[in-house]
Amino acid sequence: MAGTAAAGGRTEVAPGAVHLPGWLSPERQRELVAACRAWARGPVPMRHTRLPGGGTMSARTLCLGWHWRPYRYTRTADDVNGARVAELPEWLAGLGRAAVAEAYGEDGGGYVPEAPYAPDTALVNYYGPDARMGMHQDREERSAAPVVSLSLGDSCVFRFGNPESRGRPWTDLELGSGDLFVFGGPSRLAYHGVVRIRPGTADPALGLADGGRLNITLRVTGLTG
C-alpha cells in the first residue's frame, strides 16, 4: 500500500503483539485525519459511548461498517441516532491488510485465520487531553483475526497486558502519531488500555485543529447481515 513507511523498526511486545513506530507517512497521517473529520460528520456523529452502568467513556467514538456499543455490534447506531453506520471503505481495509502483512509477514505468521485479512469494522476514538481508556478486552468479535491499531496526533501511554486478567504483567509503551500496533494470535484477547494522553505532542501540520489523539482500530467481526 503506497504511503506507508517503516520508519522505526519493529518490537514484539508480547507474542503476536507488534509495535511498528512511524509506520504511516506524514502524508498518509494527514489523509487519515481528514477522513476521520469527514466520517465524524455522519451519518452517525462521534459520541461519548454510554456504558451500561450509567457512565460515559471519556474518549469519543465513531464506527464504520458495524456499530459497536458495550457490548455488541449492530448495523444501526441504536444508542445514538438510529442511523446505519457508513461503510468501511475498501482503501481502509487494504491499509489493514498491508498493516498485518508488515507486522507478521505476507502469510500472516499463522495469526490470520481467514487469510487474506479482511476487516469489516473500524472504531475511531478521539481523545482530548484528559481522556483515557480503562483496561479491557476486544472480545465482541466472533473472529480470531488480529486487531490493527493506527494512532494519529498526540502521543499516549498505551498499556498492553495479558489475556488472563486486567492486572500485571503488562507493558507500557508510547504510541505516537503514525504508529501501528497489531495484536493477534495469543495476544488477541489481551487486556489493554490508554493510561494517559500527552497533550500538545501532535504535529500541528497534521490538521487536528484542537489537538488530541485519534486512534483507528480495524477488526474482523465475524458477523454477517
Q: What is the contact surface with Fe ion in residues (CB under 5 A)? A: 138
DSSP summary character for residue 34: H
Question: In the structure grid, which three cell numbers stand for residue 98, read together?
Answer: 498491508
Q: Which string of b and e fits 45-78 if b means at least 16 CB within 10 Å?
A: ebbebeeeeeeebbbbbbbbbbbbbeeebbeebe
C-alpha Rg value of the chain to the nearest Å: 16
Q: According to CB under 6 A, which residues from 52 to 91 bind ligand AKG? A: none
For residue 156, give the amino acid letter: C
Site string for ligand AKG, 155-194 (x = CB under 6 A): ---x----------------x----------------x-x
Q: Of these, 79, 138, 140, 203, which contacts ligand AKG (CB under 6 A)?
A: 138
Residues 103, 180 contacting (CB under 8 angstroms): yes
**Nearer to Fe ion by C-beta: 31 or 138?**
138
Q: Are 185 and 132 in contact (CB under 8 A)?
A: no
Q: How far is the CB of 183 from Fe ion (least distance, A)?
A: 9
CA atoms of 23 and 9, how far apart (whole Å): 9
Q: Which does 112 bind (CB under 5 to 8 A by kind): ligand AKG, Fe ion, none?
A: none
> Smaller CB distance to ligand AKG: residue 104 or 160?
160
DSSP per position, 111-174: --SSSSP---EEEEEEE-TT--EEEE-----SS-PPEEEEEEESEEEEEE--SS-SSSS-EEEE
For ligand AKG, the binding residue among 29, 49, 125, 155 (CB under 6 A) is 125
Cα-flanking dihedrals φ and ψ of residue 196, to 5°?
A: -160, 155
Nearer to Fe ion, 57 or 83 (CB): 57
123 binds ligand AKG (CB under 6 A): yes
Nearest to ligand AKG of 115, 196 (CB atom): 196
CB of 219 to Fe ion, least distance (A): 9
Binder to ligand AKG among 149, 155, 162, 221 (CB under 6 A)? 149
Which residue number places its CB atom closest to ligand AKG?
215
Footprint of ligand AKG (CB under 6 A): 123, 125, 133, 138, 149, 158, 175, 192, 194, 215, 217
